[in-house]
Amino acid sequence: MSATGTPSPARARTLTGQERLLGRDEIIVSKTDLAGRITYANRVFQRISGYSEAELLGAPHSLVRHPDMPRGVFQLLWDTIEAGEEIFAYVINRAKNGDHYWVLAHVTPTLDAHGQTVGYHSNRRAPAPGAVAAVWPIYRELCALEQRIPERKEAMARSRAHLAEVLASKGLDVQRLAFVLQGTQ
């Protein structure tokens, strides 16, 4: 992909290169079970993803995973929420027709009355102006690293470690990066 998030030519077969924009006041909301299967999808999610509620419910949330999104970032996300913590991260998703859309995702565990995790809740909003341009070079670098390593788990682990190194060199972690780019810190 280019710095603006346009899909790379190698991915163009399944992607349109067209970006869908989330309105500044819109929030995508979804809930999943512990395995990541969608149990709730609001109308904004349905509209921007191009999937109907019937297509989304019961489907794995990875249905909207964009092929140019680093797997190491998803590993970090899952490790964080499975540990009972919240996470903020920039994510590029793929709509049903191959369009793409960027979001700032806030994902949290959903707890029952006994404090046990029973699923996950995600609110996603439009990234602040300039956030994608700042994040995209890092994500491209992570994807390139992942493609050079044939074993998937090793590729994700090395990608995640490299992300931590890149952010540490800037005095950040993924949470702080999200806050800085959104202009909240």
Is 30's pLDDT higher than 90? Answer: yes
To the nearest 10°, report the CA torsion of 161, 165, 166, 170.
150
Amino acid at 157: A
The length of the chain, given as a count of residues: 185
Q: Which CATH superfamily is domain 9-180 in?
A: PAS domain (3.30.450.20)
Q: What are phi and psi of 20, to 5 degrees?
A: -100, 135
pLDDT score, position 9: 44
Q: How confident is the model at residue 140 (pLDDT cuts 50, 70, 90)?
A: very high
* Whether the Cβ atoms of residue 184 and residue 99 lie closer than 8 Å to each other: no
Alpha helices in 41-173 (DSSP H): 43-49, 53-56, 71-82, 131-148, 152-169
Per-residue tokens: 164: 């931590």
Q: How confident is the model at residue 174 (pLDDT cuts 50, 70, 90)?
A: confident
Is 7's pLDDT higher than 70? Answer: no
Could you tell me which residues are beta bridge partners of residue 60? 37
Q: pTM of the prediction?
A: 0.88
* Arithmetic mean of pLDDT, 13-18: 87
pLDDT score, position 129: 87
Q: pLDDT tens-digit profile of 36-50?
A: 999 999 999 999 999
Where in the chain are the domains? 9-180
* Whether the Cβ atoms of residue 119 and residue 33 lie closer than 8 Å to each other: yes
Higher pLDDT, 182 or 105: 105
Q: How confident is the model at residue 118 (pLDDT cuts 50, 70, 90)?
A: very high
Q: How confident is the model at residue 13 (pLDDT cuts 50, 70, 90)?
A: low
Is 86's pLDDT higher than 80? Answer: yes
* Whether the Cβ atoms of residue 120 and residue 128 lie closer than 8 Å to each other: no
Query: What b/e string do you get for 159-171 counting C-beta neighbours within 10 Å, with b at 16 or more?
Result: bbebbeeebeeee
* Average pLDDT of every residue of the chain: 91
Burial class (CB in 10 A: 0-12, 13-18, 19+), 9: exposed
